């Protein structure tokens, strides 16, 4: 599976700030786990974060936020995609880590 290595490298540096997060794989692509559950990952040219269905729905329409559809027509309701400057989106990475920690 294709993933953007530059995005993966930037994400790896940002995720190093979270000691509770362990690197892993999602569909063969870089991912970050909390308590063995995926919280953040790289999918093609985006970063995906698990925030829960209500929060994901509330974020739709914001710049740089999109629906995560690993297969066309099959949206994952708990997840959103992030594009753009990941450093500016760091609060969403932290929110995903917290969400998965509290719900796993």
Given its phi and psi angles, is residue 38 left (phi above 0), alpha (psi -120 to 50 degrees) or beta?
beta
**pLDDT tens digit at each of 104 positions of the chain:** 789 999 999 999 999 999 999 999 988 889 999 999 999 999 999 999 999 999 999 999 999 999 999 888 999 999 999 999 999 999 999 999 999 999 98
Consecutive H or E run containing 22? strand 22-26
pTM of the model: 0.94
Q: 5-57+77-102 belongs to which CATH class?
A: alpha beta
Q: How far is CA 25 from the centre of its chain?
A: 12
Choose among 39, 36, 30: nearest CA to 12.
30
Please tell me the number of Cα atoms within 13 Å of 92 on its side-chain side: 27
């Amino acid at each position: 599976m294709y993933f953007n290595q530059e995005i993966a490298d930037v994400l790896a540096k940002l995720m190093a700030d979270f000691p509770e997060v362990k690197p892993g794989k999602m569909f063969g692509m870089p991912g970050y786990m909390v308590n063995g559950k995926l919280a953040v990952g790289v999918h093609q040219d985006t970063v995906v974060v698990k925030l829960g269905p209500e929060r994901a729905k509330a974020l739709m329409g914001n710049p740089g936020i999109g629906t995560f559809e690993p297969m066309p027509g099959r949206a994952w309701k708990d997840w959103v995609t992030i594009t753009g400057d990941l450093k500016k989106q760091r609060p969403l990475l932290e929110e995903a880590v917290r969400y998965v920690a509290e719900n796993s």
